[in-house]
Amino acid sequence: MEAVRRHPWIVAIAGAIVLWLVFLAFPIVPETRQAVVVRFGKPERILNEYKPGRQIGAVGAGISWRIPFVDQIVWIDKRILDVDMQTQNVLSTDKRWLQVDAYARYRIVNPLLMYVRATTEDNLQAQLKTILGSDVRNELGKQPFAALLSPERQGVMDDIRNELNDDASKYGVEIVDVRIKRTDLPDGAPLQSAYESMSTAREQEARSIRAEGMKKAQIVQAQADADAAKIYAESYGKDPQFYDFYRAMQSYKVTFVGGADGKAPAPTAIILSPKDDYLKQFTGEAR
Amino acid sequence: MNIDPGWGSFADSKGPWGTGGSGSGDNEPSEGPWKDGSKGSKGSSPPQQGGLSSFEEFLRRNRARWSPGGQFPGRPDGSFLLWSIVAVLCLWMLFTSTHSIAPEQRGVVTRFGRYVYTLSPGVGMTLPSPIERVKKIDVESIRTSDLGSGSEEDLMLTGDQNLINIAYSVRWNIRDPQLYLFELKDPDGTLNQVAESAMRSVISQVSLSDAMGDKRIEIEDKAAQITQQILDRYHSGIQVQGVAIKQADPPAAVTDAFKDVQAAQQDAQKYVNRANASAFQTIAKAQGEAAAFDKVYAQYKLAPEVTRRRMYYDTMEQVLSKVPKTIVEAPGVVPYLPVTSGEAAPQPQSQQGQGQ
């Protein structure tokens, strides 16, 4: 006690150092991270290592220990991470370009291996990105253009996943899945020609729709004409001779006087012979 | 997290060390002096130490100010402030160990970083803050992620190799807060990527007209289903409530062509409508004329000769009363006729004679 009172500064600093050592000695491992304890560069232990099927909160995370200064802790993410491939142009087997955007989700399942082979997460990310890019290019290059747009796409993704997983397992990484996010036509000529083919397809559609409409209209009209002919035939057929007379009378009226639409006919002068039927009473002759 | 402030404040402290240490014995069952801490049981925690350190620092500071004699802190006359500090500490423990969880929330409790359990809505008790921490997560409210074309076009390839400009949104909420917190590095970003991938894979299997038209609901359902499947594979703890296509249009570059198709459809309808109208007219006219003929014919039948003559004279009367007439008396003589109105040359009419 006396010593403490005499040298408060020394005691305070000593206490601070002790406290600091305590913090160093008992690191807290959160659920989201795993850690490799490295003693003089040699990996000693793994904290909170990922085990498939293990529930969150089961074991692993929590408070741990190490020997200060001797053991270094390398933190490694335990969660599912993602690596995004840069957009790439891929040439399909039928020599068509396609712009592909893919991503992979992965988890570091063997932090020790990952630490040994890649050291840091950023480094790992960069390497995976390169591998993913080449795998995507290789695998899609084996596919025809149509396959990349069709349901077979899932199979393609599985192939890429397996291939990538083979490479990634060397880094202690498990690929959860690979998905092709977008497959687009590259800008410029392919896109323009797609637009053109869309336009022309629409044009064709529009024309055929119009033609179809005309066809329908003609059929309707023809049917109506046929029906009308039938009606006429039924009615006039009763006495063709009288029809001839009746129709002639109507026709004269329209021709010389004007039709129901009130249009005046062309001017006409008529020369009648006295022998005309119409004038037979005029001349006083009997028939 | 709060280890650091404790540590920092300790470094700043100026009070005597020993007295503070003995003071801590009053309210905390910890090992007290720091020397023991380093070698002490593993159960003793740095955060606890951190809490103590700040407390002690406070204590020491006040001791230096009020009772430089170094009396024992437990004594009531030794320090009134000591008791108030104890009270503050108790309040701190009380406040950091009770948590009110709103009805839409869940509280994910971690003890030194390890997940222990999830608090349901209501008031939950945990160990005080440095030991146990609670992260409140809203699990009920539905979040919406808007994807696809916003300001610029987002083109997708359809199954028939056309392009479609699509905008859609995903509605989701959190199903398992602990999975949401601990399984994915970037759950929100993941959701967006997965949803886009799912939507593109669905769109790539349907034709353009289906995507723009009546199969929208199927597409939405399927995209939601695929998104959910993938997210479940990641153990994301996210529940997809639905995908809604807000817009599915042809790209701007070909809009005119699509509009022309619409116009063509209207044109086609127009043609048919016109034909229908005209057909109706034709038939009505036929029926009318036939009916008129039938009526006249019925009368004609009663008195054929008279009716016929009457009709003939009626017609002739109307015709001849309206037109200039020339009657040529002498048979065989063709007269030179004056051109009556200078317009049309009169025509010889011979068919008159055909009427009997």
Final residue belonging to a domain, choices A186, A217, A249 = A186
Strands B347-348, A62-63: pairing is unpaired
Spatial neighbors of B127 by CB under 8 A, at least 6 apart, are B97, B111
Classify residue B254 by its DSSP letter. Answer: G
Write down the pLDDT at residue B227: 93
Contact (CB<8Å) B45/A26: yes
pLDDT band per the 50, 70, 90 thresholds, residue A150: low
Query: For chain B, what are the domain ranges?
Result: 3-95, 99-138, 143-250, 263-315
Distance CA A210, CA A202 (A): 12
Chain A / chain B CB contacts < 8 angstroms: 361
Same domain, A86 and A175: yes
Q: Which of these CATH numbers, 3.40.430.10, 3.30.70.1150, 3.10.20.30, 3.30.479.30, describes B143-250? A: 3.30.479.30
For the segment B124-149, the average pLDDT, to the nearest whole number, is: 85
Residue B349 pLDDT greater than 70, yes or no: no
Tell me which of A272 and A136 has the higher pLDDT: A136
Write down the pLDDT at residue B54: 62
Distance CA B46, CA B34 (A): 11
Contact (CB<8Å) A8/B204: no
Q: Please report residues of A whose CB lies closer than 8 A to that of B190.
A: 80, 82, 105
- The residue range of the domain holding A67 is 2-77
pLDDT band per the 50, 70, 90 thresholds, residue A262: low
Lookup: tokens for A45: 């232990």
Element holding B261 (H helix, E strand): helix B255-302
Q: Please report residues of A whose CB lies closer than 8 A to that of B264.
A: 205-207, 209-210, 213
Lookup: tokens for A247: 């129709």
Residue A68 one-letter amino acid = P
Window from B28-37, B66-75, B104-113, B236-245 with minimum mean pLDDT? B28-37
Write down the pLDDT at residue A284: 67
In the three-class reduction of DSSP (H, G, I as helix; E, B as strand; rest coil), residue A73 is classed as strand
Distance CA B188, CA B191 (A): 5
Q: Are B147 and B197 in contact (CB under 8 A)?
A: no
Percent of chain B scoring above 90 in pLDDT:
16
Q: Strand order in B325-327's β-sheet?
A: B325-327, A270-272, B347-348
A184-204 burial code (b ≥16 CB/10 A, e <16)? bbeeeebbeebbeebbebbee
> Tens digit of pLDDT for each residue in B208-264?
888 888 888 999 999 999 999 999 988 889 999 999 998 888 888 888 888 888 899
CA dihedral A140→A141→A144→A149, nearest 10 degrees, is: 30
Window from A159-173, A175-189, B100-114 with minimum mean pLDDT? A175-189
Write down the pLDDT at residue B336: 55
Same domain, A46 and A128: no
Same domain, A122 and A148: yes
Residue B73 pLDDT greater than 60, yes or no: no
Same domain, A111 and A162: yes
Write down the pLDDT at residue B62: 58
Distances A166 to A160, A161, A273, B327 between C-alpha atoms, Å: 10, 9, 115, 116
Residue B44 pLDDT greater than 70, yes or no: no
Write down the pLDDT at residue A63: 84
- Rounded to the nearest angstrom, the minimum Cα separation between A165 and chain B is 16
pLDDT band per the 50, 70, 90 thresholds, residue A207: very high
For residue A278, being part of any structural domain is answered with: no
> Tens digit of pLDDT for each residue in A20-59?
988 888 888 888 888 888 888 888 888 888 887 777 777 7
For the segment A131-136, the average pLDDT, to the nearest whole number, is: 88
Write down the pLDDT at residue B351: 44
For residue A282, being part of any structural domain is answered with: no
Same domain, A157 and A65: no
Mean pLDDT of all residues belonging to chain B: 75
- Rounded to the nearest angstrom, the minimum Cα separation between B12 and chain A is 9
Lookup: tokens for B343: 């317009």
DSSP states of B65-128? HH-TT---TTSTTT-HHHHHHHHHHHHHHHHHHEEEEPTTEEEEEEETTEEEEEEPSEEEE-S-
Q: Please report residues of B whose CB lies closer than 8 A to that of A278.
A: 312-313, 316, 320, 352, 355
